[in-house]
Amino acid sequence: MILPIVQYGHPALRQKGAEIHEVTDAVRQLVKDMIETMHAANGLGLAAQQVGKALQLTVLDARKSDRPSQLFLGVMEMPLDSMMPLVLLNPKITRLEGGEIGQEGCLSFPKIYLDISRAHTIHVAAIGLDGRSLQFVATGLLSRAIQHEMDHLQGVLFIDKVAPAALEPLESDLQKLKIQTLAELKKKKRKKPRG
Ligand code: ZN
């Protein structure tokens, strides 16, 4: 099922995600829906906060982009096809290497792109959908996407990562988006049946 993606201004985007202690049927269903939602939106990654759930859960798929990505299990580079879509529960970054500036978008900020500085290479420890621990190294676009999604899991957004001057030209677009999101939230609340 394709889920609605919440937009900037929605309070869920500022919530820190709770850790997942058990891979239940509900978690598996949410993951399935999030992957479907990410693919339908042509996204590279989607965090649980973006579908209104404050959990330490993100899904990613870096296969479609022409910007290079690598994923290593130990010293072995894995074909992306064998690892994507990638599901990360309770992810942690254990090591960061290098840095580079690159363009990022976000499904919760339609048509807004920002140059963000991120580590080039990250070492990640997470739990996979099978409940087992998963450790890997990611580089390039995949590394960037994981860092972006992991910020979401802490309630941090990409607009928080740039200097105020970089946001100035976007100020009115951001304000409009926020007002629209809040108006839609109000409408939904009103529509809720009583009792
Ligand atoms: Zn995002």
The total number of structural domains in the chain stands at: 1
The overall pTM is greater than 0.75: yes
**pLDDT higher at 65 or 54:** 54
4 phi, psi to nearest 5 deg: -70, 135
CA of 156 to the centre of ligand 1 (A): 9
In this prediction, residue 57 has a pLDDT band, given cuts at 50, 70 and 90, of very high
Q: What is the pLDDT of residues 33-47, one digit of tens each?
A: 999 999 999 999 999
Catalytic annotation on 149?
yes
> What's the domain range around 141?
11-191
Spatial distance between the Cα atoms of 11 and 185, rounded to a whole number of angstroms: 10
Asked if residue 4 belongs to a domain, the reply is: no
Ligand 1 is a single-atom ion; what residues have CB below 5 A from it?
A: 106
pLDDT at 149: 98
| CATH number (domain holding residue 79) | 3.90.45.10
Of all residues in the chain, what percent carry a pLDDT higher than 90?
Answer: 94
Residue pLDDT, tens place only, 158-180: 999 999 999 999 999 999 999 99
| Confidence (pLDDT) at 188 | 87
Two structure tokens written together for 194: 């009583």
Tell me whether residue 24 is in a domain: yes
> How many Å apart are CA 1 and CA 104, to the nearest integer?
26
Over the stretch 81-98, which tens digit does the pLDDT of each residue have?
Answer: 999 999 999 999 999 999
Contact 147, 122 (CB under 8 A): yes
* Catalytically annotated residue among 149, 168, 171, 184: 149
Q: Would you say residue 71 lies in a domain? A: yes
